[in-house]
Chain A
Amino acid sequence: MKIINFDHFAATKMRQEVKDAMEPYFISEYGNPQSIHTLGDEPREALSKARLQAAELLNASSNEVIFTGSGSESNNLAIKGTAFARMDKGRHIIVSKIEHFSVLNAVKSLAKLGFEFSEVPVDKYGTVDPQEVKNALRKDTVLVSIGQASNEIGTIQDIKEISKVVHENSAAYMHTDANTSCGFTETDVKDLGVDMLSAAPHRFYGPKGTGLFYLKKGIRIMPLIDGGIQEFGRRAGTENVPAIAGAGVACELAKKELKSRTSHLLPIQKAIKDGVLNSLDEVYLNGHPEKRLPNNLNFVVKYIEGESMLMWLNNNGIMVASGSACTSKILKSSHVLNAIGVDAALAQGSLLISLGEDNTLEDAEYFVKELPAVVKKLREMSPLYEEVMKRNKK
């Protein structure tokens, strides 16, 4: 059976060019980039090249790019690194209600150490109103962290405007979590006006095990891992040279292919959206109708539960995700759906699709053809659906 990956937010297939770029640094050029002797030369060169490739994608300077271990680490570095470095200035951080757990749990950890945080609300599309950020700013606010696009509902924020509001009205640093958006929308740090940005190359056909962190020149953070002078002293530890080399190529490809990737994804996204909404009753699209990533769709299918939907689709070779409580491993339905006003019971029927370059229009058609039977099967055994059917009969 053909496997259709509609869960690219979990994993994308590395590009062959990426793997090829990584290959030399496992065995033949295994040296440590910090070595002064010859063994360090090639790895040092690889690091420097990757840093330049990443900088070009973000429109930053090479010395503003730090390689971390993951997108989550980059978010933690932005948040805790700022909090610890700026304790003398204040202890207040602003995030939105729909941030990734690596942001929300980082501020929750800080709260246990005496820091404070505010969660700005979002509207029904998941959009952060810059005015709400302005209202939440305090004299002791040291950081504002708002994700560029939601990893669940795909809504894209006006980071440029939010950065402007933050910088005009406070001395707070502005960070954006671009772990979901980078590679699929513009991430020009100068245009966005951010002080820090996180990105995850494994989301755009790069390797797992490395994250990108943009730190604007002059922005003060405290490292979370102390040790040697790697990554300009901001992230100690021997560098993961193969992964970084691969990440660099993924960045180069992302810059070169951003337009063609978008024009490949949009028709597939539209075919799924229209197909699902037209072929099923009581199904809703979450997130912004237009201002959303080209590779994400989030539906709520009423009266059934997401994991069982996921498992049936899996049987048919279609890999999707869900924001239901049962799929969350923490038994709570999505905080993002909750923040946009989706009732907790409805959120159980969440279906999360994330597309990538290996998807085709035929995949979309196949999915749209298979989904109704899955929904029918599960609704037929759902006591909630039974109730509604009986109520409608009366």
Chain B
Amino acid sequence: MPVYSEKVMDHFQNPRNVGEIENADGVGELGNPTCGDIMKIYIKVKDDKIEDVKFKTFGCGAAIATSSMVTELVKGKTLEEAEKISNEAVAEALDGLPPVKMHCSNLAADALHLAIEDYKARKEGKGPIGRVETPEHDEDEHDLLEQA
């Protein structure tokens, strides 16, 4: 049984919307290199709609696939619609992720929301927000095993 679903593998191998938008209206960069994932999402906004979206991700298969999926889900959507997309919805659209990946590498929707926040902050003259560090996983492996 493969670790990842076919959809995850498809998005990992053929990631949609990889790259960078020059003069993006909003950028959401989220993660922590120590944990292994950094996602950066760029958006171009027109009439409150996400006209274009691109990403760059440093991370595992799940991190790349969720980044790719979230860009596909929100392209052309209104900001309001995009804000409603959750990390869980992204995972679901990929036919699920292995449990261990659910909380560590499933941050693409958060990164997107951060990009929208950044867009709004810039409009109010308060941006850009810059990279937001997610906390490290501090569980001791031994304790983790005991909980399991």
Contact = CB atoms under 8 A, between A and B. Distances in A.
Contact of A326 (B39, B59, B142): B59
Given A308-B12, A332-B137, A381-B18, A327 B34 contact: no
A298 interface: no
Contacts of B61: 307-308, 311
B35 A384 contact: no
A190 B34 CA distance: 43
B144 to A, nearest CB: 6
Nearest to B105: A326
Contacts of A332: 137, 141
A330 to B, nearest CB: 4
A336 B104 CA distance: 22
A105 B144 CA distance: 11
Contacts of B139: 330-331
Nearest to B32: A345
Nearest to A335: B141
Contacts of B127: none
Contact of A383 (B13, B40, B62, B137): B40
A94 B18 CA distance: 49
Interface in A310-347: 311, 315, 324-327, 329-333, 344-345
A161 interface: no
B141 A101 contact: yes
A219 to B, nearest CB: 27
B33 A344 contact: yes
Contacts of A307: 36, 60-61
Give the interface SS of chain B, mostly helix, strand, loop or mixed.
mixed
Contacts of B94: none
Contacts of B1: none
B57 interface: yes
A304 interface: yes
Interface in A347-364: 348
B77 interface: no
The listed residue with most B CB atoms (<10 A of its CB), out of A105, A109, A311, is: A311
Contacts of B40: 383, 386
A64 interface: no
A303 interface: yes
A75 B137 CA distance: 28
B69 interface: no
B100 A331 contact: yes
Contacts of A327: 60
A263 to B, nearest CB: 36
Contacts of B105: 326
A248 B13 CA distance: 44
B147 to A, nearest CB: 11
B58 A305 contact: yes
Given A305-B59, A382-B56, A345 B15 contact: no
B64 interface: yes
A384 B13 contact: no
B64 A308 contact: yes
B63 interface: yes
B38 A383 contact: yes
Given A108-B142, A344-B33, A383 B60 contact: no
Given A326-B105, A327-B60, A381 B33 contact: no
B60 A109 contact: no
B21 to A, nearest CB: 12
A105 B141 contact: yes
Interface in B75-130: 100-101, 104-105
B20 interface: yes
B56 A386 contact: yes
Interface in B10-41: 12-13, 15, 18-20, 29, 33-40
Given A108-B142, A305-B37, A329 B100 contact: yes
A332 B100 CA distance: 12
B15 A331 contact: no
A384 B141 contact: no
Given A304-B58, A305-B59, A326 B137 contact: no
Nearest to B61: A311
Nearest to A104: B142
A93 to B, nearest CB: 15
A332 B19 CA distance: 28
Interface of B: 12-13, 15, 18-20, 29, 33-40, 55-64, 100-101, 104-105, 137, 139, 141-142, 144-145
The 5 tightest CB contacts between A and B, nearest first, are: A345-B33, A326-B60, A307-B60, A383-B40, A325-B36
Given A331-B139, A348-B33, 14 more contacts: A101-B141, A305-B36, A305-B63, A308-B12, A308-B60, A311-B61, A324-B36, A325-B35, A330-B141, A331-B36, A332-B137, A382-B57, A383-B40, A386-B56
